[in-house]
Amino acid sequence: MVKFICKKPGKKSIAILKRDEKVISPSYAREYSFVFKKGKGSYVYDVDNRKYLDFAAGIAVNNIGHANPEVIKAIKKQIPLGLHAAFGDFYAELPVIFTENLLKFVPKNFQKVFLSNSGTESIEAAYKLARWHTKKKYVIAFANCFHGRTMGSLSMTNSKPVQRERFSPFLPVKHIPYPYVYRMPFKNEADCTNYCINKIEKTIRYVKGNVAAIFMEPIQGEGGYIVPPKNFPKEIRKICNDHNILFCDDEVQAGCYRTGKFLAIENFNTLPDIISLSKAIGGGIPLGATLASQKVMNWSPGSHSNTFGGNLVACTAGIATLDYMKKHNLGENAAKIGKYILKRLDEIKEKYEIIGDVRGLGLMIGVELVKNKRTKEHAIKERSSILCKAQEKGLILLPAGVSTIRICPPLIITKKEAEQGLNILEDSLNKR
């Protein structure tokens, strides 16, 4: 039988849930029984025609809103001309245009791009490039990080034990604590930073400097929407410079203006060596990109390639998506509405014992739930019941980390829609 995590799905939803259970891999961890029918802007509808405000955006994919008309128009124009140009073997103009345009969104230090289809592939490319370029063996990643689920990225991913169970042996990765200020026993951010940086220094010494790269999410996503101290990425940059290590910045979830800036790392006034992008960059079509300087991306023909990288429909969608993001100042809207949401959540936090921490940048906001503000014991069951209540009231939310609610709506969201979502969230806190 289908395990209904939330109550009362409609008749049509139930029928699809039953069919899904028969044929779809059980490895997907569905949060609740929402069955998508269509989306428009910041709203989605289930197959029973129930309308929901979307505070999940397909986990930070639908930054430009559902069914964006400009992306649809671009795709429709391309479809009769061709879908697949075998970009790994031949040449085509669309992937080149997409890449040229993408490079205009990032600092001039980046001149070369490898194209792929997903977040994990954009990380695999970064990982292989770092190993190839430096000829070194280890990489450093962080506790609670999520970089994907193929074997290279999974060797780093460790936000939940279930993601790694039975999959070892892994590639040579050393894990270091991420500066999770709210849960670390330090007096201030500087002590927290120093603790993690010392651990990295020790690890580099332990492996005799044989470190190709440090992989970091500028804001941890799956791990719990954790924002590091302001100077932490700069300290990582410094270590990388000192030890000839590449700084690999995973922007798969935090990138594409989610935090107000095109790259989340730009909020921290530093620059990485390799950037991985995906999720929002295709406007809903699978697309991944790995960026580096010409000097770093110097691998030889045949050292890395794929079948679908540079896919024509994906690149057309990517071009239209970037245009839309720029034309509609989505970074500014993310920063403005994000500030408003954070302010309201800070007020809500004062009223409810269950809210331990509110943190975020732009529209990447985490609300960490605890049983008790002093002990900070995770409120796991309570979170499930709040997510369910919210869904019943017409708001789609997703969890992150052990007991955090993630708030990542489309970046086109209006203040009125944000207000509507926050009212439902507060109501769900009251009625769980």
Ligand X SMILES: Cc1ncc(COP(=O)(O)O)c(C=O)c1O
Q: Where on the chain is the footprint of ligand X (CB under 6 A)?
A: 59, 118-120, 123, 146-148, 217, 221-222, 250, 252-253, 278
Q: Which residues contact 224 (CB under 8 A, 6 or more apart)?
A: 144, 159, 180, 366, 368, 400, 401, 402, 404
Residue 190's SS3 state is helix
Q: How far is the CB of 190 from ligand X (least distance, A)?
A: 26
Q: How far is the CB of 173 from ligand X (least distance, A)?
A: 15
| Residue closer to ligand X, measured from CB, 222 or 266 | 222
Cα separation, 400 vs 383, in Å, equals 10
Q: How far is the CB of 73 from ligand X (least distance, A)?
A: 25
For the record, the structure tokens of 128 come out as 């292989």
| Residue closer to ligand X, measured from CB, 279 or 389 | 279
| Residue closer to ligand X, measured from CB, 217 or 235 | 217
Alpha helices in 1-78 (DSSP H): 11-23, 57-60, 69-78
| Residue closer to ligand X, measured from CB, 173 or 204 | 173
Q: How far is the CB of 98 from ligand X (least distance, A)?
A: 18
Sheet holding 51-54, edge to edge: 36-40, 43-46, 51-54, 395-396
Phi-psi region of 413 (alpha: psi -120 to 50; beta: other; left: phi over 0): beta
| Residue closer to ligand X, measured from CB, 150 or 194 | 150
| Residue closer to ligand X, measured from CB, 118 or 391 | 118
| Residue closer to ligand X, measured from CB, 46 or 121 | 121
Cβ-proximal residue to ligand X, closest one: 119
Q: How far is the CB of 221 from ligand X (least distance, A)?
A: 4
Tell the burial category of 249 from Cβ atoms under 10 Å away from its Cβ (0-12, 13-18, 19+): buried
Q: How far is the CB of 416 from ligand X (least distance, A)?
A: 29
Q: How far is the CB of 120 from ligand X (least distance, A)?
A: 3
| Residue closer to ligand X, measured from CB, 9 or 360 | 360
For the record, the structure tokens of 29 come out as 């961890």
Tell the burial category of 300 from Cβ atoms under 10 Å away from its Cβ (0-12, 13-18, 19+): exposed
CB-CB contact of 201 with 128 (8 Å):
no
Cα separation, 41 vs 395, in Å, equals 14
Q: Which residues contact 431 (CB under 8 A, 6 or more apart)?
A: 389
Cα separation, 158 vs 166, in Å, equals 13
Q: How far is the CB of 325 from ligand X (least distance, A)?
A: 19
